[in-house]
Amino acid sequence: MSDLTAIIAGRGALPAHLARVMAARGLPFLVAEIEGAGMVPEEGWEVVPFALERLALLFDLFHDRGVTRVVLAGAMTRPRLEPERIDPKTAILLPRILPALGQGDDAALRAVIALIEEEGLCVIGAETVAPDLLPDAGVLTATRPCAADEADTARAAAIVSALGAADVGQGAVVAQGLCLSVETLPGTDAMLDWVAEIAGACRPDPDGPGGVFYKAAKPGQERRVDLPVIGPTTVEAAHRAGLAGIAIEAGGVMVLDPVRTCARADALGMFLWVRAP
């Protein structure tokens, strides 16, 4: 079989979603799952595990199988390399990857993309496979943000823009004008869990606006990979944190399973706002 798309799968639900979309459309694909990602494949999927220490061998497999396109999906944990596992061909590539791994996520991903493209493979964004992942601007729920929510969102957007310029994070929580937390390497779930623990003590008015979780792409980031993703579990986590709703950057954040995500937000009385930049 030729002209395959390879899904390089990290953690989370996005890789499986893309695989389901491609399977439903009859498009040939294989899944290259980074070790430890924990993907549960469905019947008929070809899943090939790989480790960064053997990246060159993965490229060889792609060429042998006729892969022409690659989509990177899911969270990628920075690996702790095991030198004894590195094959000679990958050893030639690692000096180009290792310096980038010590920088921000965007720098690391740009280095990986450059290697993939040098192999003659086309890197595409997840939204190319599943365009419905990027919703149009507007409020997607019955509950709408109030004036205080809009002000908190504007404050959070400014914070995320500053964080993103430093290649640090893609999200922030603001309540009553105060930043309760920002997203760093542990990710969105860890941030919202922490807010859930401390939120009550941090809000000046316990009975005032609950606050907003805002998420956006980093300014100037490579948008074919690492676009932020939210879904039903994000809504649940934001609710546990006592927040009034979630706002995301239009065109910069993917919504996984949008029907279920919006339905869960509606059930919890929360808003989901796709905010134009």
CATH of the domain at 218: 3.40.140.80
92-101, 114-123, 177-186, 202-211: the lowest-pLDDT one: 92-101
Residue 145 and residue 121 in one domain:
no
Residue 275 has pLDDT above 80, yes or no: yes
Find tokens 């799952």 and name the residue: 33
Show the beta-strand stretches assigned E in the chain. Answer: 4-9, 29-34, 47-50, 67-73, 122-123, 138-139, 171-175, 178-182, 212-215, 229-230, 245-249, 254-255, 271-275
Residue 69 and residue 86 in one domain:
yes
Residue 193 and residue 265 in one domain:
yes
What's the CATH number where 63 sits? 3.40.50.20
Residue 144 and residue 116 in one domain:
no
User: Which residues partner with 75 through β-bridges?
Assistant: 11
Range of the structural domain that residue 99 is part of: 4-129
Residue 17 has pLDDT above 50, yes or no: yes
Using CA atoms, how far apart are residues 69 and 80, in angstroms rounded to an integer? 27
Residue 11 and residue 119 in one domain:
yes
Q: Is the sign of the CA dihedral 197, 203, 206, 209 positive or negative?
A: negative
Residue 125 and residue 144 in one domain:
no
Residue 19 and residue 118 in one domain:
yes
Residue 107 and residue 150 in one domain:
no
The last residue of a domain, from among 106, 129, 152 = 129
Residue 122 and residue 221 in one domain:
no
Q: Mean of the per-residue pLDDT values for the chain?
A: 89
Number of domains composing the chain = 2
Residue 124 and residue 140 in one domain:
no
Task: Please give the single-letter amino acid code of residue 40.
Answer: V
> Closest Cα partner for 77 from 108, 56, 46, 99?
108
Residue 248 and residue 183 in one domain:
yes
> Closest Cα partner for 5 from 16, 18, 132?
18
Kindly report, residue by residue over 41-89, the tens digit of the pLDDT. Answer: 898 999 999 888 888 999 999 999 999 999 999 877 666 778 788 888 8
Q: Report yes or no: 4 and 28 within 8 Å, Cβ to Cβ.
A: yes
Using CA atoms, how far apart are residues 272 and 142, in angstroms rounded to an integer? 9
Residue 75 and residue 199 in one domain:
no
The last residue of a domain, from among 129, 158, 187 = 129
The last residue of a domain, from among 108, 129, 150 = 129
> Closest Cα partner for 173 from 204, 214, 201, 202?
214
Using CA atoms, how far apart are residues 226 and 142, in angstroms rounded to an integer? 29
Using CA atoms, how far apart are residues 182 and 133, in angstroms rounded to an integer? 24
